[in-house]
Structure 1
């Protein structure tokens, strides 16, 4: 199925993008230490967070603000829709926070990739950390599942983890060795979906831990991030393949080549306009609108 792809310049190094409560796209500019905002059809705006902070993943919070991880400065950030930013340092030094998501308990949950921990921060800034049952696991992306748990990828442990709001952690090993799971999201079918950057596959895990894997058309595409789209499909980026793909809940996948070589697609989101928006580290946001669906 063809798609219309448009690109919009937004500044150096967009890494992740999300739709904010104000109906605009909010994105991280990892190299310049800024958060950006773009209303579809408008002009991009940028807000300074701090040199060397490395803002990485950004999501809407339960308080009407946007929350993000600062991988390089080991902080959690909050920015209002007016552009006022606050940073919260983590208790554990050199923790490497990466993924973040809003939980079912009114708090934000995040991964500490370099510290083998899952963290929780309230809108007031109170932080609690929970150690994982192992070392060198490299917790990466995290999402809230429909079962009330928080699900996350363990990139170096080749596993998917779940932490419940009672803090119990369960780890589910992947069938494919050295698959390298990274992106993860709640799917439209009540399961959790993820992508394996080293194996070139998408995966699906149920609340009971049953895992199904789906090889993608290009096994060398290095799928990085995944999100539920506006069309009941799961959309993902292929960093090495310079493309974006979509997979339905039956496992059928389609891919869309990006028009500019070396775009480096990373995070993506269902936009406020019914399209899928993608952060391209080459300095653009891409808007993808499938046709004839």
Structure 2
């Protein structure tokens, strides 16, 4: 595979999250600029400013209503960019620090609240609620949905959690101490997660069985993960400036070098198999299938 780059930001504006919309356009959050950017199918970049100091837009997903939704980690809101380009938001709790975001099987948006150990839910009409995780200082990070529930990474709790749509929670401690899980993704019949501090990628099944796969460079800091239809996954390696593809057995079968100091964060795989990576140096990397 080969990769190309699209410049979407300047200086330290920091592309962070990335998602592919239902129309094939690609979106990214500019965490330090307080804006969201869109790349059209023909490569034209448009920006949507949030006009709120310190909003820190982070993770972004395509919503079931045709809009793009994103967490605002700095000012405790969930943002929305409608198909008409209108930007709006919903408050989710002072000091809660929303971060991970996904669309649940119920058609609502689900998100992690890092500072208060809760999982939040917002409907497309803006109705907000939240659920306790039963942990203290767990620092929930990314969240993913499957057909009947949710999976999330507890970064400081060293666990992967499972939540039903009615709020029942089961936590699965990781075998490796201090692993620092961040990313999580469900797809292809499996759930993958990253262990940032341990330099490993893990897989968990619905019964809670966990298998960990050490990466060749244990200092590579795996961050985001995206499950693929063949049972494998893509992973961004923040520390080594690359992205890798794992097969269903956890073996690294491909590595795409993105550049020293590129700091890859967000990751998305489109319906066409094309891979997009947000690089903090100001570009989106497009890995061609």
Q: TM-score, normalised by structure 2?
A: 0.95
The 1:72–1:191 alpha-carbon spacing in structure 2 relative to 1, beyond 3 Å, is same
What value does the CA root-mean-square deviation take over the aligned residues?
1.4
Instruction: Quote the residue 1:169 is aligned against.
Output: 169
Look up the SS of the partner of 1:125 in the other structure. coil
**2:12 paired with 1:10:** no
Q: Residues 121-136 of structure 1 correspond to what in structure 2 (within 5 A)?
A: 121-136=122-137
Distance 2:77 2:223 in 1: 23
The answer to whether the 8 Å contact 1:233/1:247 transfers is: yes
Distance 2:104 2:8 in 1: 29
Look up the SS of the partner of 2:66 in the other structure. coil
Instruction: Quote the residue 1:249 is aligned against.
Output: 248
Q: Residues 115-264 of structure 1 correspond to what in structure 2 (within 5 A)?
A: 115-146=116-147, 148-188=148-188, 190-229=189-228, 233-264=232-263
Q: How far is the alpha carbon of 1:254 from its aligned partner?
A: 3.4
Listed one character per residue, the Cα deviations across residues 74-95 of structure 1 (whole Å, up to 9, x for unaligned) are: 10111113321111111x3110
Look up the SS of the partner of 1:41 in the other structure. coil
Query: Which runs of no fewer than 5 residues in structure 1 stay unpaired?
Result: none
Q: How far is the alpha carbon of 1:286 from its aligned partner?
A: 0.3
Look up the SS of the partner of 1:82 in the other structure. coil
Q: TM-score, normalised by structure 1?
A: 0.93
Distance 1:259 1:138 in 2: 29
Distance 2:42 2:252 in 1: 30
Question: More displaced, 21-30 or 272-281?
Answer: 272-281
Aligned residues: 285
Instruction: Quote the residue 1:280 is aligned against.
Output: 279
The answer to whether the 8 Å contact 2:137/2:156 transfers is: yes
Distance 2:85 2:263 in 1: 27
Listed one character per residue, the Cα deviations across residues 243-266 of structure 1 (whole Å, up to 9, x for unaligned) are: 101111111113524343211100
Q: How far is the alpha carbon of 1:272 from its aligned partner?
A: 5.6
